[in-house]
A = this chain, B = another copy of it.
């Protein structure tokens, strides 16, 4: 029996045989090159229909109306976040921190599954179809269901996800202002939109991570990297997530769903896949999900195709409001939109109303074609669990206090904007 030793500087590991992993897999990723799936359990989770569904849910919803490359999915994002998790854990181990094998797997599972509860066009659907039901709650329900199917093998991962695992820094890597989720999505969204200024230098950030007092911290010499990360985040908000044209497309989809529900409530027939129909007709609460396992399955069957197929079907619906909205979204004839620093004055809205009414829109349909909204951009939320910097002195400081760099303080200011969104040249069939 060969008795050889693996390399950990100054230590030895006892091997007795060649380890065989039948399910190892390597996935091409334009962002990181290759992503390794490093255990059989992780492989089985990736193969599970719950996770495969994420292949059909785009990370950025409608953002391709502005950035045609932004078609990446939550599937790829989740794999990318898992990759960053494994890189980060390795870096922490190389700094001498003791991290147990099962912890590594659990942390990877927790981040892999963190978005399982997202529906298609998440923010739109949550607000219209399931008000009050947060995707995090559904994620947790699905993780628990998987845990049952897998005989409790996700226990530790669920603890890390929920924040009940004793070593707190694991939860911070899954969910905090500097977690693997944010790091991957900023990186990935920047890559696929082509907004290269949003790139965050994940490689360097990862080398700067450390653990101190059971907290995920950043070494002092990583101050500039954090600053760069916060700037990149802020830039991505203005340039991508809150882009005017995207907000306009989202507003249109919101109105489409609102109208569809209304018609449905009035007993009108609407083309839709069976599972999607259920959510259009009914309004479910979180309690419904908990009491009705079948509902979770229905939710879990939804993806972007249900929404698009419906929008396509409805484009020829007899209701002129619904069909006009759908046709506009499909052909990218989007609402106009204007930003304001304060809530828009009544005169502005009145003027727009008059315009729309004159263009042939009926009084009772006005609310579908004239909308207001509010957006905020908050690069660093000081009130939340802070990003901690380990100074050379050993002291832990909030990033905003760690340095005299004036720009970090500036990033703690919330920036709020208001917008008005209205249909221009809407052609209502029949009107």
A415 CB → nearest B CB, Å: 7
By a CB distance below 8 angstroms, the chain B residues around A415 are 404-406
Interface string of A197-239 (1 = CB under 8 A from B): 1010101100100000000000000001101100100110011
Q: Is A348 an interface residue (CB 8 A)?
A: no
Report whether B67 and A28 are in contact in the complex, using a CB–CB cutoff of 8 Å: yes
- Interface pair B68/A71, CB less than 8 Å apart: no
Q: By the criterion of a CB under 8 Å from any partner CB, how many residues of chain A are at the interface?
A: 105
Which chain A residues numbered 1 to 27 have a C-beta less than 8 Å away from chain B? 2, 4-15, 18-21, 24, 26-27
A367 adjacent to chain B (CB < 8 Å): no
- Is A410 engaged at the interface, CB distance under 8 Å to the other chain? yes
A224 touches B207 (CB 8 A): no
Q: Smallest Cβ distance from A141 to chain B, in angstroms?
A: 20
Contact with B along A284-324 (1 / 0, CB 8 A): 00000000000000000101111011001100100000000
User: What residues of chain B lie closer than 8 Å to A332, measured between beta carbons?
Assistant: 47, 52, 55
Note all chain B residues with C-beta closer than 8 A to A234: 407
Q: Contact: A68 with B19, CB < 8 Å?
A: no
Q: How far is the CA of A50 from the CA of B207 in the complex (A)?
A: 29
A225 to B67, CA, bound (A): 17
Instruction: Tell whether A56 is near chain B: CB-to-CB under 8 Å.
Output: yes
- A sample of 6 more A-B contacts (CB under 8 A), given A8-B19, A228-B235, is A4-B100, A9-B19, A11-B13, A28-B195, A30-B69, A49-B331
7 A-B pairs with least C-beta separation: A309-B309, A7-B101, A28-B194, A305-B308, A7-B104, A406-B410, A4-B98
